[in-house]
Amino acid sequence: MNRKPTAPTGKTEEEADYVNSAVHTVEKTATTPDQKFGSFTRSSSPVAGCWVILIVIMALRIYFTSVISENNGMLSAENQELRTQKKNLTDMLEDMETERNELNVSRAQWSIDQYCPIVGAARQCKSCQAGWLHDESSCYVMNDPRPPEQKTWDGAQAVCKEMISDLAVINNAKEKLLDTTSDSY
């Protein structure tokens, strides 16, 4: 019920009450089976699309998981191979260092034997190797082979390099005199 205030006379007017009246009427008719599932087919299209997208995502995840797993396996095998190669190279390097140290020791021993040969029961050290001539601050060895064994200058220099020396060059008359008076080896 709705009331409107009126003039100060104290009387009120009442309007009709429309609360329980029908807003509109629905006409009921019989529906066919096609009409009953029409709303289902209209709403199932987006749901079906979502399912298709979900299935595609799951399939891609399975595929990429297997690809990544395969790549991880190959990388692990390659990593292991590289570790093995590193170990082999480290072992080779250690062997080479041991060999080099042994060679240095043998060279040092050779030097000791050449410069300080054992004479009697004791070593006697000289400034030149055994069989070499000493003159001032240099040591010389003479080698004067006959024609079939003679070498070119480069060949003679190579022989000198093997003995950790250089081919001598005569610079003055004193050295030339030493050259002509020495025994040939």
pLDDT, tens only, 21-56:
555 565 666 666 555 555 555 667 888 889 999 999
CA distances from 152 to 23, 161, 163, 166 (A): 129, 14, 17, 14
**What mean pLDDT is predicted for residues 84-107?**
93
- 3 state SS of 19: coil
* Amino acid 10: pLDDT: 52
Give the model's confidence band at 170: pLDDT under 50 very low, under 70 low, under 90 confident, else very high: confident
Would you list the domain boundaries of the chain?
43-114, 129-181
**What mean pLDDT is predicted for residues 123-146?**
77
**Above 60 in pLDDT, residue 107?**
yes
The C-alpha atoms of residue 41 and residue 34 are separated, in whole angstroms, by 10
Asked which of 24-33, 61-70, 107-116 is least confident by mean pLDDT, the reply is: 24-33
**Above 50 in pLDDT, residue 185?**
no
Fill in the amino acid letter for 43: S
The C-alpha atoms of residue 166 and residue 140 are separated, in whole angstroms, by 10
**What mean pLDDT is predicted for residues 167-177?**
73
Report the run of H or E that residue 14 belongs to, with start and end: strand 13-14
**What mean pLDDT is predicted for residues 57-64?**
95
Give the model's confidence band at 8: pLDDT under 50 very low, under 70 low, under 90 confident, else very high: low
The C-alpha atoms of residue 127 and residue 48 are separated, in whole angstroms, by 102
The C-alpha atoms of residue 77 and residue 86 are separated, in whole angstroms, by 14
* Amino acid 19: pLDDT: 56
The C-alpha atoms of residue 104 and residue 109 are separated, in whole angstroms, by 8
